[in-house]
Amino acid sequence: MSIRFDDQVAIVTGAGGGLGRAYALELARRGAKVVVNDLGGEADGTGRSDAAAAVVAEIVAAGGEAMANGGSVADPEQMAAMVDHARERWGGVHILINNAGVLRDKSFAKMTTDDFEFVVRVHLLGSAFVTKACWDLFRAQNYGRVLMTSSSSGLFGNFGQANYGAAKLGIAGLTRTLAIEGAKHDIRVNTIAPTAGTRMTEGLFPADLFDLFAPEKIVPAALFLVSGDAPTNQIVGAGAGVVQSAHITLTPGVALHGDSLSPEGVAAAWDRITDRTAKIVPASGAEQAMLIGRMLMERGAPS
């Protein structure tokens, strides 16, 4: 076992069940001290239970070290207190897995603004709040590994999940900028887009596929992405042992000018504008502007 987390402290949010529990158990098995955060709600965020304490008991029974936290990721003060507590007890925090999540699926026509806001708050703002609570510490340590949790629903869309999809692509966007800002302090930030049989996907997955898509099959990709040698700024798909790399790509585009720089010109050039043959993956937003500049220079002086 060469990837280990001895002397490291990991926080896993939403770790009272499903994917978070699987991450927490394996992090602890590989030597990390783990904060198991979960308020123990139902899939839609209602209700409370001591799910986090049950996972801590499993870790301790297996010889590991863990503490439970029943705070909500949607509450920045509770999250700041959680990070302070971990730092006071164990001297630092090195790994954060933002995994907590809820669902309130409905077609956009039927979705209330409250359901939209609630889901965005837990997933997107929750990921930002917990990461913010760790950020100064990561910078001071010159070390931090953050794994966010996106979804194919955010990256590619899914009927009935406008709230969830908006939050999940927002999380990928948060990843991009934090990876850039964290680089000089060796803070690496990645996103996983899992596909797993959990209570969140009950009813969506045929029961006989649950074993094939067990949460444990996501764990290898997740743990690599928070290891010392992790890459940064990656969006990684994982499910049933298949590991993928997702990208937001850009076509070279077409430089329009004069009469062609008109709605009609865009319509006429649409096939070339959307031709993905020579697509690229910009490493930052600035790169898109640089590519535009390069294209204009190749074409000659802009008019």
Positions in the binding site for ligand NAD (CB under 6 A): 13-14, 16-20, 37-41, 43, 45, 51, 72-74, 99-102, 122, 126, 149, 151, 194-196, 198-201
Q: Which is nearer to ligand NAD, 64 or 71 (CB)?
A: 71
123 burial level (CB within 10 Å; 0-12, 13-18, 19+): buried
Q: Judge whether 164 counts as a catalytic residue.
A: yes
Q: Which of 5, 143, 164, 213 is catalytic?
A: 164
Convert 138-152 to b/e letters by CB count within 10 Å (16 or more is b). Answer: bbebebbbbbbbbbb
Q: Which is nearer to ligand NAD, 43 or 137 (CB)?
A: 43
Q: Which is nearer to ligand NAD, 140 or 242 (CB)?
A: 242
State the minimum distance, in angstroms, from the CB of residue 195 to ligand NAD.
Answer: 5
Q: Which is nearer to ligand NAD, 131 or 195 (CB)?
A: 195
State the minimum distance, in angstroms, from the CB of residue 117 to ligand NAD.
Answer: 13
**Residue whose Cβ sits closest to ligand NAD:** 18
Contact 239, 204 (CB under 8 A): no
- Which residues belong to the active site? 164
